[in-house]
Amino acid sequence: MFFSLNFPCQRRTLLSFAAAGLPGITPAAALAVDAPSPGVMLAKPWQASLNPADYLVSEKLDGVRALWDGDRLRFRSGRPIAAPAWMLAGLPGVALDGELWLGRQRFDALSGIVRKQSPLDSEWRSVRYMVFDLPQNPGTFAGRAAQVRELLEAAYQPWLQTVAQMTVSDAAALQARLNEVVAAGGEGLVLHRADSLWAPGRSDALRKLKAVPDEEARVLAQIPGKGKYLGRMGALLLEMPDGQRFALGTGFSDALRSNPPAVGAIVSYRYRDRTLSGLPRFASFLRLRDLE
């Protein structure tokens, strides 16, 4: 291992690592770690102390976050999505927030489609843009959800659809809905306070609930492997949204260990529970989010 896991890994530190030629660290990637967060709402984990009746509930889609500003379609990172011209022409002239989606348990196939620099019509014809919010709209989420339905009905595009919202009366009804979605192959649920206003960043008003929790973290460094992983990546040093860091070393395929996620990339990981300090226990790599 080239360095301790407890060092102050700020941008200047990563730049010095890049200059030293450490694996997976380039000047561009080091600068990307300190890049400003895009203006999107992000969910926090659901807490049992909250009242589900205060929220609108939808299925958490296993898709790729896509932001439309009336002119461009972009990933969450701000990078442009190379969507077909016919799709862009069919979008309304207002800002939308949603997910590009192929269906349950088809994230890998979707990722391969939407990351191509030259879109293939034959592939994109199966992709749906599932819209759940109107960014920067001044109304409550309940009002925005109603406007989304009206707007997309008027657009009349079969691939442009509204994410269905529902209400639940209590914790038992919420658990029943989660069980139903998971049994059908879904990821989990999203809960959005009906009376909340839109605001960028990780929000108390937006929650996610899964049978097995997962979170996202940013790659700070690739830790060289030992033993059977000698010459390949042994683990990733990750930084959580609250600034805490930990090493993730399980759940990777041999192909990913040979070609690991780059510094600055966003990865998802599953975990069982958390330590008293808030670090994940029994964490395992789930997928690369690739700065979307």
Q: Which residues are catalytic?
A: 60
Q: Residue 6: beta bridge partners?
A: none
Q: How far apart are CA 156 and CA 16, in angstroms?
A: 53
Read off the tokens for 75: 């990933």
The residue assigned the tokens 């990546």 is 233
Q: Is 65 helix (H, G, I), strand (E, B) or coil?
A: strand
Question: How would you label 30-63 residue by residue, b for 16+ Cβ within 10 Å and e otherwise?
Answer: bebbeeeebebbbbeebeeeeebeebbbbbbbbb
45: phi > 0 → left, psi -120 to 50 → alpha, else beta; which?
beta
Q: How far apart are CA 103 and CA 108, in angstroms?
A: 11
